[in-house]
Structure 1
Amino acid sequence: MFSQIFTIIFPLFAIVSIGFFYGRKHAPDMVSANQLNLDIFVPALILHVLADKSFQVDTYSQLAIGGAFVVIFSGFLAWPVAKLMGFNVKTFVPPMMFSNSGNIGLPLALFAFGEQALPAAVMLFIVENTLHFSLGMKMMDRKISLFSIVKIPMVFAVVVGLCLSVSGLVLPEVVTISIEMLGMVSIPLMLFSLGVRLTSVNLQDWKIGLVGAIICPVTGIILVLLVAPFLHLTELQYGQLLIFGILPPAVLNFMVAEKYNQQPKQVASIVLIGNLASLATIPTVLYFLL
């Protein structure tokens, strides 16, 4: 059992570690690489999964509802904690809502359950990112237009992919192969970039980071256990939803906080300590699932 969990976890943290140590030594500028991942590689992965003829939207509708429930109500549970601890709500609540469903969620699903789990993981990734780019941005800036999210490549890829899936249209094989190859770049680049990003944060604001590392997976698990009995999920989807619930805060939270100058150092500590804590929480949930 433990060897199986180690086999699942090791590739993730090995690539993150390579990124971390390479980042410490060479301090590469990952801005362009991250932009390419957001604009090209991740949208290609999403489009590849959604446009696949075996992908049925109805199959994952209940899972999408569960994922949205976890994201939204994590905010409701985190809000009183922020007030009680004296944290800024805009600093603490978004990282508790928007988890690392890309950098860790996608590769974890791939290594834990195989390629058959990737569509479910992508569906949860789509739900989380759509809410992050809409509700999350609105939380930071009430003046932002929600219609502008359609211009975001990942959201555009979702729209195109769902249209292809619902219509039953199949892209030519030469096109699908190209899209698949582009999408294959996204997951290892996500992990490597996460490792490099971790070199730029510190543990100065350890208190808010520690509280976040506890609250994020705890609220996620509670909400999954509350909503799952009301959903019609397969065993694989239930496992995916459980993993989704305990994922640490997304690195994107730091980027958004930096953009809006919303205490980015504290958010960085939440992200760093939360991701370090996942070294314990993820194997624990995998042990339960396996």
Structure 2
Amino acid sequence: MNLLLTVAEVTAPVFLLALAGFVWVKLGFDYSVQFVTRIAMTLSLPCLIFVTLMQTDIAPSALTAVSLAAVAAYAGVTAAMAALVFALRLEVRTYLAPLIFGNTGNLGLPLALFAFGNEGLGYAVVIFAIMAVYSFTVGIWLVSGGGSPAKVVKEPLVAATLLGALFLWQGWETPTFLTNTLTLAGQIAIPIMLITLGVAVARFEPRSLTRGTMISLVKVVACAATAWGAGRWFALPPVPFAVLVLQLCTPVAVTSYLLATKYGADADAVAGLVVASTLLSVIALPVLLAFVM
């Protein structure tokens, strides 16, 4: 009973904030997803990542271990999802990238924070940054055939990760007034991303959820198994191990739908994956959290 209560206390804020965004749209209120997402990705989230890394007490060796485990896990997930796409004869441009890249920002970061505090958030932002670099290169190439390594360097969240890692390595600290400013800006990220997730789900009108649900179920099982194996292989301690599993098992990201729309893939099919996997995560993530806590 205590474990169930703990899991509920961790996951309830995540899904209640998403529900708030869902209800907001259903009540007919305006919400600009593009504007809010831009604010989050270019200002608030980079501030959160930088401050979290700068102030973390995690040893650099531990961050290296979780980084290597994340790279190995994403390689395994890529292979597994490619096998699934080819086995089901699905369109690669439409399905492969969404199945590889989960919603590690909107759901993964707050879940790690609520479950494991600042230590969990520190590991989560590293995994998120690795996913972002992979997504901005291979992910965009899969959808459009035009991924650019130069674009990665220009992304604020990647720059924030590299700078935060440098400050962590050197033991540097920004002046107090600047740290407070960056912290305040970063505090916007988690609630606004969760609300935006709810808004996006409320606006999606997928053709069918049946295929999306079945594929999403296979995705979460494959991702859990791959992350579990990578975490054990690199002998991760309990907290980074749990964060790695949860991050890899997050549902299909809303950005996958935006990329599908931009580059001419089947956006309705991706919308079905986003909605189905997000709804499935209401059950799957608490169950996984109960196993790894």
* Residue 248 (structure 2) pairs with residue 255 (structure 1): no
Per-residue deviation at 1:278?
0.6
> Using a 3 Å threshold, how does the CA distance of structure 1 residues 143 and 282 change in structure 2: closer, same or farther?
closer
Between the aligned partners of 2:166 and 2:119, the Cα distance in structure 1 is 22
- State the AA in 2 paired with 1:100: N
- Within 5 Å, give how 1:46-57 maps onto structure 2: 46-52=49-55, 54-57=57-60
Match of 2:180 in 1: 177
1:219-230 equivalent positions in 2, closer than 5 A? 219-230=222-233
Equivalents in 2 of 1:268, 1:203: separation in Å? 5
**Shift, 1:238, TM fit:** 1.1
Cα gap change, 1:241 to 1:171, in 2 (>3 Å) = same
- CA contact 2:138–2:147 (8 Å) conserved in 1: no
Cα deviation, 1:260-282, whole Å, max 9, x if unaligned, reads: 12111111110110010011111
The CA distance in 2 between the partners of 1:208 and 1:69, in whole Å, is 28
Indicate the larger mover: 265-274 or 163-172.
163-172
Tell me which residue corresponds to 2:21: 19
How far residue 53 of structure 1 moved from its aligned partner, in angstroms, is 6.1
Q: Which amino acid aligns with 1:164?
A: F
Residue 211 (structure 1) aligned with residue 214 (structure 2): yes
Structure 1 residues 240-261: Cα deviation after superposition (integer angstroms, max 9, x where no partner): 1221232111111111111112
Q: Match for 2:66 among 56, 63, 69? A: 63
How far apart are the structure 1 equivalents of 2:6 and 2:171? 38
Greater shift, 206-215 or 144-153, is seen at: 206-215
For 1:94, the aligned partner's letter is: A
Residues 226 and 116 of structure 1, relative CA distance in 2, 3 Å threshold: closer
* Larger displacement relative to structure 2 (205-214 or 41-50): 205-214
- Is the Cα–Cα contact under 8 Å of residues 249 and 271 in structure 1 kept in the other structure? yes
- Aligned: 1:140 with 2:143: yes
User: Pick from 269, 278, 281: which aligns with 1:275?
Assistant: 278
Size of the aligned set, in residue pairs, is 290
Indicate the residue corresponding to 2:5 in structure 1.
3
Matched, 1:75 2:91: no
Distance in structure 2 (CA, Å) of the matches to 1:176 and 1:20: 33
SS of aligned partner of 1:199: helix
TM-fit CA distance, 1:163: 2.3
Give the 3 Å change call, closer, same or farther, for CA 139–119 of structure 1 in structure 2. same
Look up the match of 2:37.
Answer: 34
What residue in structure 1 maps to residue 156 of structure 2? 153
CA distance in 1, matches of 2:154, 2:233: 34
Deviations 1:135-186 (A, max 9, x none): 2112223343212211111111112222222233221111111111111100
Q: Could you state the TM-score of these two structures normalised by the residue count of structure 2?
A: 0.93
Determine the structure 2 residue equivalent to 1:195: 198
Where structure 1 has 5 or more consecutive residues not aligned to the other structure, the ranges are: none
Runs of 4+ in 1 over 6 A off after TM superposition: none
Provide the C-alpha distance between the structure 2 equivalents of 1:153 and 1:127, rounded to a whole number of angstroms. Answer: 14
Aligned to 1:237: 240
2:56–2:122 Cα contact (<8 Å) kept: no
Aligned-partner SS, 1:81: helix
Secondary structure, counterpart of 1:233 in structure 2: coil
Q: Give the alignment's Cα RMSD to 1 decimal.
A: 1.6
Residue 28 of structure 1: how far off its partner (Å): 1.9
State the percentage of identical aligned residues.
23
Q: CA 1:163–1:174 in 2, change beyond 3 Å: closer, same or farther?
A: same
Q: Give distance in 1, aligned partners of 2:107 and 2:194.
A: 7
2:136–2:151 Cα contact (<8 Å) kept: no
Q: 279-288 vs 226-235, which deviates more?
A: 226-235
Stretches of structure 2 that go unaligned for 5 or more consecutive residues are: none
Please list the CA deviations of residues 17-36 of structure 1 after superposition, one character each: whole Å capped at 9, or x if unmatched: 01001012214222211111
Q: Compared with structure 1, are the counterparts of its residues 116 and 163 closer, same or farther at alpha carbon in structure 2 (3 Å cutoff)?
A: closer
1:55 Cα offset (Å): 4.7
